[in-house]
């Protein structure tokens, strides 16, 4: 069997075990400890903008806590990018609220600011009130058009929860993704730029908000000598062991970013003369994607093959690829949710493919992927 080429494998840097050993040596193996605080400080320093970080068990938990902090509840609506992973939308349902899906624009594949404003006005006309929050996503590491989205959000005074799960290290106009909204959320799942094996973080504007998030994330225990609970809480804090992995990963974050971007540049070069195959690019110099995953779209009329033809052939060669996200408004579980669509995400799902992009891959791996695609 040929050597497997995986989509995005975890990439250790070598110092993770130093932090883990320290946790074991000092018996800090519980969901709090020096590594958790240290990882939060590392992330805050990296993101800048005087942000405050709460390390959590998952990126999904971060989105959920942001909704809890904004008091989203049954009867409320939350605007959410349709072209995304289900974790962007599921927490809305956790709160008993209704997701309202907004389609994408073609430049970044992310939330369309024009359609966003149309959706806000239409929901106000239909329900008598504005949606409670907006969740744009930086898909595959590409920043959404945050200036335009924030302008719309500020116009109607709707807070933004920025889903930057795939975009640590990406910037828009030299500002880090995850720092534009009222809240930002990050993921450290095993396939991300850096990993804590599983985990996430909530990016807050103030220390007060971060402390409140920590309160909810540790079962909402009140300050009392006994166990006193006046609010519903959650068991969402990151363990000191996982945070130790994260601290080690922060030491190689820049290297991982550079490698992902180099892989994208190589794909771009190798496909430059390929008919019908287009690699997603930064739309302008304002955008600097981490290119967590390098993605292509396939025009079957020009390429002589479909996205699915390519995916299956890669699979036969022991190469992992994946269709782009199936939009949330097409998912059976959200069949009853309102949606404002323009056809962009449906077309991308039909013709788009994520290619192997992990920072462990070597140039010869990338050349093999492209050779399989082009030698149909």
- 160 and 36 in a common domain: yes
Q: Is residue 8 part of a domain?
A: no
- 264 and 245 in a common domain: no
Q: Is residue 9 part of a domain?
A: no
pLDDT, residue 87, reads 98
Domain final residue, candidates 250, 266, 285 = 250
Neighbour tally for 120: CB within 10 Å: 23
- 62 and 43 in a common domain: yes
Domain final residue, candidates 216, 250, 284 = 250
Q: How far apart (Å, rounded) are the C-alpha atoms in residues 362 and 263?
A: 8
Residue 305 exposed, middle or buried by CB count within 10 Å (0-12, 13-18, 19+) = middle
pLDDT, residue 24, reads 86
- 108 and 94 in a common domain: yes
Q: What is the pTM of this model?
A: 0.96
Question: Which CATH number characterizes residue 232's domain?
Answer: 3.40.640.10
How many structural domains are present in the chain? 2
pLDDT, residue 27, reads 80
Range of the domain at 211: 16-250
Neighbour tally for 181: CB within 10 Å: 25
Non-local CB neighbours of 293 within 8 Å, separated by 6+ positions: 7, 8, 140, 141, 166, 354, 355, 357
- 123 and 103 in a common domain: yes
Domain final residue, candidates 232, 250, 268 = 250
Q: Is residue 4 part of a domain?
A: no
Question: Which CATH number characterizes residue 362's domain?
Answer: 3.90.1150.10
- 116 and 232 in a common domain: yes
- 261 and 170 in a common domain: no
Question: Dihedral sign, CA of 81, 204, 181, 256?
Answer: negative
What stretches in the chain show pLDDT beneath 50?
Answer: none
- 287 and 342 in a common domain: yes
Q: Is residue 228 part of a domain?
A: yes
pLDDT, residue 91, reads 98
Q: Is residue 85 part of a domain?
A: yes
- 232 and 362 in a common domain: no
pLDDT, residue 304, reads 97
- 151 and 137 in a common domain: yes
pLDDT, residue 33, reads 87
Q: How far is the first Cα of the chain from the last one, in angstroms, to the nearest whole number?
A: 20
Q: Is residue 67 part of a domain?
A: yes
- 258 and 244 in a common domain: no
- 108 and 88 in a common domain: yes
């Amino acid at each position: 069997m040929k050597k497997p080429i995986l989509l995005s494998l975890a990439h250790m840097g070598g110092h993770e075990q130093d932090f883990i050993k320290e946790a074991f040596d000092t018996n800090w193996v519980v969901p709090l400890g020096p590594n958790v605080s240290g990882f939060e400080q590392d992330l805050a320093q990296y993101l800048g903008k005087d942000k405050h970080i709460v390390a959590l068990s998952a990126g999904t938990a971060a989105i959920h806590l942001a909704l809890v902090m904004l008091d989203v509840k049954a009867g409320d609506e939350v605007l959410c990018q349709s072209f995304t992973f289900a974790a962007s939308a599921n927490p809305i349902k956790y709160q008993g609220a209704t997701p309202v899906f907004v389609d994408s624009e073609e430049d970044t594949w992310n939330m369309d600011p024009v359609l966003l404003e149309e959706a806000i006005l239409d929901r106000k006309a239909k329900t008598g009130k504005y949606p409670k929050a907006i969740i744009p996503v930086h898909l595959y590491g590409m920043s959404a058009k945050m200036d335009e989205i924030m302008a719309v959000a500020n116009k109607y005074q709707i807070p933004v929860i920025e889903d930057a799960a795939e975009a640590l290290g990406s910037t828009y106009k030299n500002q880090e993704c995850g720092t534009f909204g009222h809240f930002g959320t990050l993921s450290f799942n095993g396939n991300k730029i850096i990993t804590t094996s599983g985990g996430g973080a909530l990016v807050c504007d103030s220390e007060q908000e971060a402390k409140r998030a920590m309160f909810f994330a540790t079962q909402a225990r009140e300050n009392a000598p006994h166990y006193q609970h006046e609010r519903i809480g959650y068991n969402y804090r990151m363990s000191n062991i996982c945070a130790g992995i994260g601290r080690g990963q922060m030491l190689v974050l820049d290297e991982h970013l550079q490698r992902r971007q180099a892989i994208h540049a190589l794909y771009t070069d190798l496909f430059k003369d390929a008919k019908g195959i287009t690699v997603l690019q930064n739309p302008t110099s304002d955008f600097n994607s981490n290119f967590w995953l390098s993605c292509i779209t396939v025009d079957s009329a020009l390429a002589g093959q479909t996205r699915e033809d390519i995916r299956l052939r890669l699979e036969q060669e022991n190469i992992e690829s994946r269709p782009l996200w199936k939009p949330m408004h097409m998912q059976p579980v959200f069949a009853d949710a309102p949606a404002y669509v323009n056809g962009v995400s449906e077309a991308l799902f039909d013709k788009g493919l994520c290619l192997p992009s992990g920072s462990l891959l070597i140039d010869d791996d990338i050349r093999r992927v492209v050779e399989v695609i082009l030698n149909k």
